[in-house]
Structure 1
Amino acid sequence: MLTNAAIVLGTFLVMELVAWAVHKYVLHGVLWNIHESHHKPHAHKFELNDVSFVFYGVIAALCFIYGTEALDYRFWVGVGITLYGLAYFLVHDLFIHRRMKLFGKTRNTYLRALDIAHKVHHKTKGRDGSESFGMLWVHPKFFRLAKKR
């Protein structure tokens, strides 16, 4: 059981690295035509960029399909990917972009730093010149900014 928990936690942590790399090199690279919708103001709830979740969903589904019978590592990797997806939805879509008005202002330094880092990322409207591509890891300079406010 401890091994399974370690697989879930390890997968969750690795997903932050994967998400960072995919965001920086794929979404701001060859798939910019899809991701660009996320960097432009709009009044609708959904954007073309939302289809990118399918990539991770398919991988998680395959892990569940092939790992369920034996309840082996593949199943637990699927759980880690799914939990990261849930965290992404809660943090990125609900807290940062306020797709539903569930969260108000916060005094939490980490959440404020995360929000600042994401706003800095969105300052650049084009595909080049952005910074802060991760979701949960925040560069220390954003903590300094969050403490000043």
Structure 2
Amino acid sequence: MVWTAIAIIIITFVAMESVAWLAHKYLMHGFLWYLHKDHHKKDDGQVLEKNDFFFLLFATPAIILFLIGTVYGNIVMMSIAGGITLYGFCYFLVHDIFIHQRFKWFRNTNNLYLKAIRRAHKMHHKHLGKHDGECFGMLWVPFKYFREAYRYQKMQQQKQ
């Protein structure tokens, strides 16, 4: 039973990247753009953005599944809720803390994966409008950004 719960949490976590990609591309850059567009503007020092509302939108299914799972003792619902919550926590760490530096932690890294994530997100934000975006995911990064990060790291090493 424990291994089943762990497997469901992992599968849900992995599936959430697709859910986040689809939601970002078709909801945030679609009919909910009015909530997301302030996230694409130049940083004006705002602590909160309208875009932060999406936290509640994505947390709601997990809250409901935790509630139903608790009431009915359903480990599958609890595990799915756990996977969604774990993904949300990772999203917060990677997107808000590491990429956008809402807290000044994890500023410098030599990790190619983290550099590729940062570069892909930067490419996403080069588009200030609703259309023509790229890199809508968070954890799955197109391979070209790994190559860019690797080349940049090699150039830095050669300068030393």
TM-score (normalised: structure 2): 0.91
RMSD: 0.8
Which residue of structure 2 lines up, in the alignment, with residue 26 of structure 1? 27
Q: Who is 1:137 aligned against?
A: 140
User: Gaps (5+ residues) in structure 1?
Assistant: none
Residue equivalent to 1:127 = 130
Q: Which moved more, 1:40-49 or 1:88-97?
A: 40-49
| Comparing 71-80 and 14-23, the one that deviates more | 71-80
Q: How does 1:66-105 map onto structure 2 within 5 Å?
A: 66-69=68-71, 70-105=73-108
State the Cα distance separating 1:71 from its structure 2 match. 3.7
Partner AA of 1:73 in structure 2: V
Q: Give the number of the structure whose alpha-carbon radius of gyration is greater.
A: 2
Unaligned runs of 5+ in 2: 153-160
Measured in 2, the distance between the counterparts of 1:145 and 1:129 equals: 21
* 1-structure distance, mates of 2:77, 2:112: 36
Question: Is contact 2:101-2:107 (8 Å) kept?
Answer: no
CA distance in 2, matches of 1:56, 1:44: 22
CA distance in 2: counterparts of 1:76 and 1:82, whole angstroms: 10
Q: TM-score, normalised by structure 1?
A: 0.98
CA distance in 2, matches of 1:56, 1:47: 16
Q: Provide the C-alpha distance between the structure 2 equivalents of 1:15 and 1:44, rounded to a whole number of angstroms.
A: 28
Counterpart-to-counterpart distance in 2, 1:73 and 1:55: 21
Structure 2 counterpart of 1:40: 41
The separation in 1 between residues aligned to 2:134 and 2:36, in whole angstroms, is 15
Rounded Cα–Cα distance in structure 1 between residues aligned with 2:133 and 2:77: 34
Residue 61 of structure 1 is matched in structure 2 by: 63
Would you identify which runs of 4 or more consecutive aligned residues in structure 1 move more than 3 Å?
none
CA distances 1:51-89 after superposition (whole Å, capped 9, x unpaired):
011111110000000001414200111100000000000
